[in-house]
Structure 1
Amino acid sequence: MLNHIPKINLHLHLDGSFRMDTIWKLAHEQNVQIPADTIEGYEAFIRKCANAKDVNEYLKMFDTPLKCMQDKASITRITEELIEDLANQGYIYAEIRFAPQLHTQKGLTQAEATEAVLEGRNNALKKYPNLRIGILTCMMCIGVDTLNQKENMETVEVCKQYLGEGVVGIDLAGAEGFVPLSNFGPLFAKAKEYGLPMTCHAGDSQGPDTVKDAMDFGVTRIGHGHHVYFDQELVERAKDNKILFEICPTSNVQCQTVPSYAKHPMKPLYDQGVLVSVNTDNDTFAGVHITDEYAHCIEDMGFTVDDIFQMNINAVNAAFVTEEERKELLHILETARKEHATC
């Protein structure tokens, strides 16, 4: 049954959702050092994500794929392949996010990196015209010693430049806890001035105070954000403002920001009326597809199949799409939901 649910994913990182054999080939073609002698060894290395001591150790896993994604052809290829994989998994809509500034190590501009992603997107959608894909550009919190606000402002400008051409919104991702999230307020203020749809990573490895900062920015969605559960006032604020939390169960367990699936606050938040959706974060690093996350939700977290449909409807209502696209996606989901109810 889970395979037949129309799939939605609002929180999916490009550089964590690649085909293993593609990165292996690109690394050898580009003389990028891989921390393994065989592709099986590299896969085992990536599986160490399941035992990461925290989010920041998890983020180090991105080094190799990012080194392989510094030219337009590689970026385009990985984007196109990911969308092909999503189509084959039964997706009807996904938002793929990436940080343009992380693809400029060999001379590309952020705009050129974005164009490469959009080329891959457009190539794939020619083959799968019924699939909808949006691209999010990510600003980055890199660390206390890295002053990249200039690059982040450029990301805002790039998002504005390509909005409506496949780019649908902006995000802030990266290391949590090194600097106050409030430091990024001016960047979100500029994004808001431009009318850019906004989401923000917050409340994952850090507490609910970062969720408050993100809400203060004016975002309509929050990446992860499950620590909002520990501040009832913020829970009520999220409900009042219809803020959706992009929950990634397996990633949260692997990064040890929750103790287990069973103790994840996602279901208690859902039961309180907070808008949540199911996402994978990084398909390759997490070693899951969205159907696996649905299974964890049902088998380990207390959700029903109908809850999965409802969370996908929540996701569509919060997606950065046109109203016409929203109506089309909701119709697909509601039709499938009715068919399931009559089985």
Structure 2
Amino acid sequence: MMNRYPFPKVDLHLHLDGSILPETAWELAQKVGAPLPADSLEGYKAYIRRAVNCGAVNEYLKLFDLPLAILQQPEHLTRVTRELVELLHRQGVAYAEIRFAPQLHTREGMTQRQAVEAVLRGREEGLAACPGMEAGILCCMMCVGPEAVNRAANAETVEVTAEYLGKGVVGLDLAGAEGIDPLSAFAPLFRRAAELGVPCTCHAGDSQGPDTVRDAMDMGARRIGHGHHIFDDPALCRRAAAEGIALEICPTSNIQCRTQPSYGEHPARRLLDMGIPVTINTDNMALAGVSLEDEYDHCVNEMGFTERDLVEMNRNSVRAAFLPEEKKAKLLAALEPFR
């Protein structure tokens, strides 16, 4: 187990399809006959390393074509979820929220419910092998074009999330390509989630500006996926601090997608100093080639954070987690000796 940072670690922003072990992706691609971008496993790993530095979020999203091609069978979803939980446990992660979009796994006949159940089986199998660890599943609605394109699928995701809430599913997200439609176009989905008591996070303020963060906050999201461009609106920063809106910062992803120019220029440290609950996360662990400890190295060596800041940001993660209060209290107590 890695222990450069021996305190309990929390990852709130982690995509399942971006965190498949390359060896597993290679094996499953051959099994289902999916086209591969290389002639060998090592070539595939090299392709990933090249492709992640493409420089644009919407281009980066093309990297998910292969993972989605191999995740159309329930047993594959179960396996990659189990393997991710086990990997996180080896890395000293005490709690993770793993997110995926059920609607993206229905191409070959699975329903959204069956996709959720397959992921939940993998979660259960992984946690059974990893005593002391906790993990929750976030279901993602998707922005794949104009809001109307997949309105019915997104509406179904809200209902399915509510159905499995408390059974391993912990909340709802909106992910995908930013800037195609105004984020506010998705407001009815968030209103329905609120009616059903489903807690929400929302991708915003990554490739787009602070207005998307405002929209997400106005729609009821208590956490923002990425959200770092809120820094461009000081008044909105003050509002986020006052309302306790947590930012799910993913430093390496932001650099790879060129949504921030460098680790040193990333505003995460300044956002924390403003009183905003900043959290540090990996986003797409396998594609980005990072662990939480790698992100922490960047935080300490290039972004102006101290190790004590890392502990405090993990406390922010615990408080922002979609967890019962008694489990939050247990995690906070485990972090206390490291403050």
* Superposition TM-score, scaled by structure 2 size: 0.98
Q: Hey, what's the Cα distance between the residues in 1 that align with 2:4 and 2:215?
A: 36
Q: Hey, what's the Cα distance between the residues in 2 that align with 1:73 and 1:50?
A: 27
1:30-60 CA distances to partner (integer Å, 9 max, x unpaired)?
1111111111111111112442121000000
Residue in structure 2 matching 1:327, options 326, 329, 335: 329
Is 1:47 matched up with 2:36?
no
Q: Hey, what's the Cα distance between the residues in 1 that align with 2:187 and 2:235?
A: 21
How do 1:188-203 and structure 2 match up within 5 A?
188-203=190-205
Structure 2 match to 1:149: 151
Structure 1 match to 2:6: 4
Identity %: 55
1:210-257 CA distances to partner (integer Å, 9 max, x unpaired)?
000000011110000000000011101101110000000000000000
Inter-CA distance 49–275: structure 2 relative to 1 (3 Å threshold): farther
Q: Hey, what's the Cα distance between the residues in 1 that align with 2:207 and 2:33?
A: 34
How do 1:19-30 and structure 2 match up within 5 A?
19-30=21-32
Structure 2 match to 1:246: 248
**Residue type at the aligned position of 1:94:** A
Inter-CA distance 145–209: structure 2 relative to 1 (3 Å threshold): closer
Structure 1 match to 2:73: 71
**Residue type at the aligned position of 1:283:** M
**Residue type at the aligned position of 2:215:** D
Residue in structure 2 matching 1:181, options 143, 161, 183: 183
Contact 1:10 1:96 in 2 (8 A): yes
Does the residue aligned with 1:12 lie in a helix, a strand or coil? strand
Is 1:207 matched up with 2:198?
no
Structure 2 match to 1:268: 270
Does the residue aligned with 1:140 lie in a helix, a strand or coil? strand
What is the Cα deviation at residue 317 of structure 1?
Answer: 0.4
How do 1:223-242 and structure 2 match up within 5 A?
223-242=225-244
What is the Cα deviation at residue 106 of structure 1?
Answer: 0.4
**Residue type at the aligned position of 2:318:** V
Structure 2 match to 1:82: 84
Does the residue aligned with 2:17 lie in a helix, a strand or coil? helix
What is the Cα deviation at residue 145 of structure 1?
Answer: 8.6
Contact 1:49 1:255 in 2 (8 A): no
Contact 1:135 1:168 in 2 (8 A): yes
Contact 1:2 1:294 in 2 (8 A): no
Structure 1 match to 2:174: 172
The two structures, once aligned, show a CA RMSD in angstroms of 1.0
Structure 2 match to 1:284: 286
Structure 2 match to 1:104: 106
Q: Hey, what's the Cα distance between the residues in 2 that align with 1:318 and 1:91?
A: 16
Structure 1 match to 2:296: 294
Contact 2:147 2:181 in 1 (8 A): no
Gap runs ≥5 in structure 2: none
What is the Cα deviation at residue 274 of structure 1?
Answer: 1.0
1:79-131 CA distances to partner (integer Å, 9 max, x unpaired)?
00000000000111000000000000100000000000000000111111310
Inter-CA distance 38–111: structure 2 relative to 1 (3 Å threshold): same
Does the residue aligned with 2:33 lie in a helix, a strand or coil? coil
**Residue type at the aligned position of 1:53:** G
Aligned residue pairs total 337
What is the Cα deviation at residue 179 of structure 1?
Answer: 1.0
Q: Hey, what's the Cα distance between the residues in 2 that align with 1:145 and 1:302?
A: 39
1:146-170 CA distances to partner (integer Å, 9 max, x unpaired)?
7001000000001000000000000
Contact 1:228 1:235 in 2 (8 A): yes
Q: Hey, what's the Cα distance between the residues in 2 that align with 1:68 and 1:116?
A: 14
Contact 1:249 1:279 in 2 (8 A): yes
How do 1:301-316 and structure 2 match up within 5 A?
301-316=303-318
Residue in structure 2 matching 1:115, options 111, 114, 117: 117
* Superposition TM-score, scaled by structure 1 size: 0.97
Structure 1 match to 2:59: 57
What is the Cα deviation at residue 3 of structure 1?
Answer: 3.4
Structure 2 match to 1:341: none
Q: Hey, what's the Cα distance between the residues in 1 that align with 2:265 and 2:314?
A: 22
Residue in structure 2 matching 1:138, options 137, 140, 143: 140
Q: Hey, what's the Cα distance between the residues in 2 that align with 1:97 and 1:145?
A: 20
